[in-house]
């Protein structure tokens, strides 16, 4: 779920803090290097496809990637290696120069049976793959024997010419302001906040903003495939990574090797359909959380004899916060309604976080907002020291570069009743997000992405029936749009965002059998 600015149609699989940063720069284009990983000169496509990567042990991540420590060695002692790959800033204009794409890799342990490189995109858009892959690597240990595990910071993200907008103190105010305005003065303040944010993005990253869309990222992945020496792209896309993978398959169907899409973005949804789908998805997850609370009776910290009564506690809390924020620990910060809603959404990404949601709401009812604020900070990429990664700046930039819709104030307000019907907790929040790109300085590319991929190898598409951020229907629609003989649907009857990372053995077994042995699951197979 997006914070309240640009509607975050595609969401990340999880928030990981471990990270790595790139050390090596490959000199594959002429010209002087500008700030932010941009280089002037000519981007010679043939030379870029044959560039040699200088892999070195990863250092600690950059601030834009989320700070933290360098990634720990893998089981057996293998070190994570990082490198930088040059890609054209503008594929249609080679004279525009290049930007540096940050990469991370660990090599296959069974060299005799190595298949190739398995490239990961964990979603967002705006999530750093360089940070996330080492943090999530234990989930994919079973694939490391036969694959080099590879990820990257997409253009505009993390250490790859990151989009920069407002500074840390400005972002604190930006994320705290009222995202569901209920009078004219609040509406004016909300729109002014969006305008200031967009202006800062243009001022600080204007050169890269037109070139951070999903189509360019897909072209980068095909260049990465060539530079890694693979004939085909082996790929694991999660959340927004499924949309990126679908666009890749459309552009390069003959280059698709074994690919898996998990937590599937619905390619048939425009911005409004996606936003209302997410409102319904998060409401479903909240219903499931509340039912679990009811089932546990007195062991649950929240009052309520049924789902409605438990959720009413949350609705009333948010209404109170709308007029009176509460203290959040000893930091001097306060928990606003916007941050509380954001924190609740963050906790619904995984059933493992439900206990945090329960405790956070209980604490907030008692006048202490630290836990819900911490969950909101995790969503927004705010570290404990008050610094922000660029995940939300990149998220806004990529979404607004992709999607054409620009909603007016009146259009947005007209949608409120429908969104409130979809979710009494998240409806207003998601509806007001529709206006997020209206002030953006760059036009969008499409209403919905084209993911048709005739001639592609089979793509396993995994849908989770309880997914709040990418509702289950998206998996079927992705299969349909990929086209006959391409998409193969696998259903997981579970909770949380994504299926493979749930630890479900059935899902992992089916996906591993495809990636490692080429065994395609039976169409319509179900895991639970």
Q: Among this protein's residues, is 239 annotated catalytic?
A: yes
What number of other Cβ atoms are within 10 A of residue 1's Cβ? Answer: 26
Distance (Å, rounded) from C-alpha 62 to C-alpha 37?
Answer: 13
Residue 54: CA count within 13 A, CB half-sphere: 10
Task: List alpha helices for 54-167, DSSP H.
Answer: 129-136
Please check whether residue 102 is in contact with residue 21, taking contact to mean a CB–CB distance below 8 angstroms: yes
Find the angle CA(272)-CA(276)-CA(400) to the nearest 5 degrees. 40
Catalytic residue among 131, 377, 467, 502: 467
The answer to whether the beta carbons of residues 435 and 191 sit under 8 Å apart is yes
Query: Is the four-CA dihedral 36, 41, 45, 48 of positive or negative sign?
Result: negative
419 touches 446 (CB < 8 A): no
Task: Residue 60: count other Cβ atoms within 10 Å of its Cβ.
Answer: 14
Which of 160, 239, 456, 502 is labelled catalytic?
239
DSSP string, 129-165: HHHHHHHHGGGGGGGTTTEEEEEEE-TTSTTSS----
Q: Which of 3, 211, 250, 497 is catalytic?
A: 497
Q: What is the CA radius of gyration of the chain?
A: 22
Pair 475, 273: CB distance under 8 Å? no
- Does the active-site annotation cover 497? yes
SS3 state of residue 526: strand
* Catalytic machinery residues: 239, 467, 497
């Amino acid at each position: 779920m997006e914070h309240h600015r640009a509607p975050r149609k595609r969401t990340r699989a999880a928030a990981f803090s471990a990270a790595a940063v790139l050390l090596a720069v490959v000199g594959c284009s002429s010209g002087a290097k500008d700030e932010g990983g941009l280089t002037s000169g000519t981007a010679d496509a043939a030379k870029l496809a044959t560039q040699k990567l200088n892999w070195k042990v990863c250092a600690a991540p950059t601030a834009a990637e989320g700070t933290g420590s360098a990634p720990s060695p893998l089981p057996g002692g293998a070190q994570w290696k990082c490198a930088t790959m040059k890609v054209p800033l503008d594929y249609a204009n080679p004279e525009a120069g290049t930007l540096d794409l940050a990469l991370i890799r660990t090599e296959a342990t069974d060299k005799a049976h190595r298949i190739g490189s398995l490239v990961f995109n964990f979603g967002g858009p705006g999530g750093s793959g360089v940070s996330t892959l080492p943090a999530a690597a234990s989930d994919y240990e079973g694939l490391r024997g036969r694959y080099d595990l590879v990820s990257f910071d997409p253009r505009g993200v993390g250490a790859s010419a990151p989009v920069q907008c407002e500074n840390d103190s400005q972002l604190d105010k930006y994320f705290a302001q009222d995202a569901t305005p209920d009078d004219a003065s609040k509406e004016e303040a909300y729109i002014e906040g969006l305008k200031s944010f967009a202006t800062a993005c243009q001022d600080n990253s204007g050169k890269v903003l037109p070139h951070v869309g999903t189509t360019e990222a897909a072209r980068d992945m095909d260049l990465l495939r060539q530079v890694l020496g693979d004939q085909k792209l082996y790929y694991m896309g999660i959340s927004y990574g499924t949309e990126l993978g679908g666009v890749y398959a459309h552009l390069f169907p003959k280059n698709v090797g074994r690919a898996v899409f998990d937590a599937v973005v619905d390619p048939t949804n425009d911005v409004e359909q996606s936003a209302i789908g997410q409102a319904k998805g998060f409401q479903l997850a909240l219903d499931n959380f509340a039912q679990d609370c009811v089932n546990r009776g007195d062991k649950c910290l929240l009052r309520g004899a049924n789902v409605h009564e438990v959720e009413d506690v949350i609705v009333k809390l948010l209404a109170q916060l709308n007029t009176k924020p509460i203290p959040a620990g000893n930091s001097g910060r306060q928990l606003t309604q916007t941050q509380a809603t954001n924190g609740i959404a963050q906790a619904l990404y995984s059933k493992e976080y439900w206990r945090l949601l329960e405790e956070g709401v209980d604490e907030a009812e008692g006048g202490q907002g630290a836990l819900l604020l911490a969950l909101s900070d995790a969503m927004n990429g705010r570290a404990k020291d008050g610094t922000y990664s660029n995940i939300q700046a990149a998220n806004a930039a990529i979404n607004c570069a992709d999607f054409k819709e620009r909603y007016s104030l009146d259009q947005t307000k007209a949608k409120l009743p429908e969104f409130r019907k979809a979710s009494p907790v998240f409806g207003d929040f998601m509806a007001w997000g529709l206006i997020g790109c209206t002030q953006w300085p760059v036009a969008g590319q499409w209403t919905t992405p084209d993911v048709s991929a005739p001639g592609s190898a089979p793509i396993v598409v995994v849908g989770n029936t309880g997914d709040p951020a990418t509702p289950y229907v998206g998996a079927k629609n992705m299969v349909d749009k990929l086209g006959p003989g391409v998409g193969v649907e696998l259903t997981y009857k579970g909770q949380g965002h994504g299926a493979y990372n749930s630890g479900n053995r059935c899902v992992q077994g089916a996906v591993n059998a495809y990636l490692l042995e080429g065994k395609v699951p039976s169409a319509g197979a179900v895991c639970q």
